[in-house]
Chain A
């Protein structure tokens, strides 16, 4: 029972971050769907049209932030789902490490792809 009294409280911060990213994602995900399926049809996407969008710094930053927020929200959600099912001990640490590495890799790759799309590489 001693562990109940540690001053380190991981739950609260990630809980709040999960909510903050949620509020951000609600708006940007809706915008993303609307832009690429209704304003522009996904079937008509070419590299040139993608580049035209990505060259806009505001759009570029929004998309990178969208990726970071989405990755955190999704991976944290997966991790929480596993903790809810009683994951603990070494298994929990391994899962956390794997998920963290996967997230960092996804964000790095995604950001690189966005830079290529914008033509800034």
Chain B
């Protein structure tokens, strides 16, 4: 029982029947995923207690003669219960090699800075329990983005694609001063865009996408999801929605998605990216059919 992870007392949420609506298959799947992960963790953690974890970290620095040829460095980090991949690399940096470079900030899966390629999959360092992984844990920078140094990749292209879809709420005109009221959104509409609002711009999806790797102009899952978040929001006018769809239905927009589901599988926020892209494809087709 000592090794069992004590789950914090679940917070009593306000009794709002509308918020606890019917369970979607997506929710069910997520719950199942979570349950299986907890089981694995508690079993593994007893083995690891008092042990060290072996991590192999990608090293590269164009400014240091020794590190111009990329290599992997091994670190043995003392295991602590609840240790994440981010904790491990931070320990390695603070204790063994202060030149080990990576981006991180909030440590709670909100800032989206610490997406790494861990054991062959894009994961958020701060959200990945080290006890869930097979050792040695191989930690690399995100694939398909240029490496700047160690685990840091160049995010410029990703940010360009995100901005290309104009990811902000727009209205045609400023409302009259006389009716300056709140712009309300129905609960149903909020539920529809809920998952898409969770994006933290970590670029895991873009990195996992085989098409984005080959076609540099492809908007990528994150940007399309961002556009979905606004296009599906009822508060946006029809004209703006059409403008948004016009950006998305370019040759390098939604059509490049090949439904490989790689993005959906790696998204640390469990956003159903493929589902959103598919819905936008159908939206665009419907819009064009009207003119026939």
Q: How large is the interface on A (under 10, 10 to 19, 20 to 34, 35 or more residues)?
A: 10 to 19
| Nearest-Cβ distance from residue A51 to partner chain B, whole angstroms | 40
The answer to whether A4 and B214 have CB atoms under 8 Å apart is no
Inter-subunit contact A12/B215 (CB<8 Å): no
Q: For B214, what are the chain A residues with a Cβ–Cβ distance below 8 Å? A: 84-86
User: Is there contact, CB below 8 Å, between B258 and A10?
Assistant: no
Question: Given the known A-B contacts A12-B285, A15-B281, are A86 and B215 also in contact in the complex, defined by CB atoms under 8 Å?
Answer: yes
Report if A5-B215 is in contact (Cβ < 8 Å); known contacts: A11-B253, A15-B255, A15-B281. no
Q: Which residues of A contact B10 (CB under 8 A)?
A: none
By DSSP majority rule, is chain B's interface helix, strand, loop, or mixed? Answer: helix
Taking CB atoms, residues of chain B closer than 8 Å to A3 are 250
Contact across chains for A84 and B258 when beta carbons are under 8 A apart = yes
- Interface residues of A: mostly helix, strand, loop or mixed? helix
Could you say which of B164, B216, B258 contacts A4, with CB atoms under 8 Å apart? B164
Q: B289's closest neighbor in chain A, by CB?
A: A16
Given contacts A11-B249, A12-B255, contact A86 B216 (CB under 8 A): yes
Residue pair B247, A83 in contact (C-beta under 8 Å) = no
Residue of B nearest to A13 (CB): B288
| A1-B223 Cα distance, complex, nearest whole Å | 15
- Binary interface encoding of chain B residues 214-238 relative to chain A, with 1 for a CB under 8 A from any of its CBs, else 0: 1111000000000000000000000
* A residues in contact with B217, CB < 8 Å: 88
Complex CA distance for A104 and B127, rounded to whole angstroms: 54
Q: Give A11's nearest chain B residue, CB to CB.
A: B255
Min CB distance A92 to B, Å, is: 10
Beyond A5-B246, A12-B285, A12-B288, is A85–B255 a contact (Cβ under 8 Å)? no
User: Is A9 at the interface (CB under 8 A from chain B)?
Assistant: yes
Task: Give the distance to chain B from A17, nearest Cβ to Cβ, in Å.
Answer: 11
Number of B positions contacting A (CB below 8 A): 20
Complexed CA–CA distance, A36 and B253 (Å)? 41
Asked if B256 is at the interface (CB within 8 A of a chain A CB), the reply is: yes
Which chain B residues lie closer than 8 Å to A15 at the CB level? 255, 281, 285
- A46 is an interface residue with CB less than 8 A from chain B: no
Given the complex of chains A and B, what is the CA–CA distance between A12 and B283 in angstroms? 10
Interface residues of B in 250-284 (CB under 8 A from A): 250-251, 253-256, 258, 281, 284
Are B258 and A11 neighbours in the complex by a CB distance under 8 Å?
no
The answer to the question of A90 belonging to the interface, with a C-beta cut-off of 8 Å to chain B, is no
Is A11 a contact partner of B250 (Cβ separation < 8 A)? Answer: yes
Residues on B with C-beta less than 8 A from A10 are 251
Smallest distance from the beta carbon of A83 to chain B beta carbons, Å? Answer: 7
30 examples of A-B residue contacts, CB within 8 angstroms: A3-B250, A4-B164, A5-B246, A6-B250, A9-B246, A9-B249, A9-B284, A9-B288, A10-B251, A11-B249, A11-B250, A11-B251, A11-B253, A11-B255, A12-B249, A12-B255, A12-B284, A12-B285, A12-B288, A13-B288, A15-B255, A15-B285, A83-B251, A83-B256, A84-B211, A84-B256, A85-B215, A86-B214, A86-B215, A86-B216
Having A1-B164, A11-B249, one finds 7 other A-B pairs with CB under 8 Å, namely: A5-B246, A11-B250, A11-B251, A11-B254, A12-B285, A12-B288, A86-B215
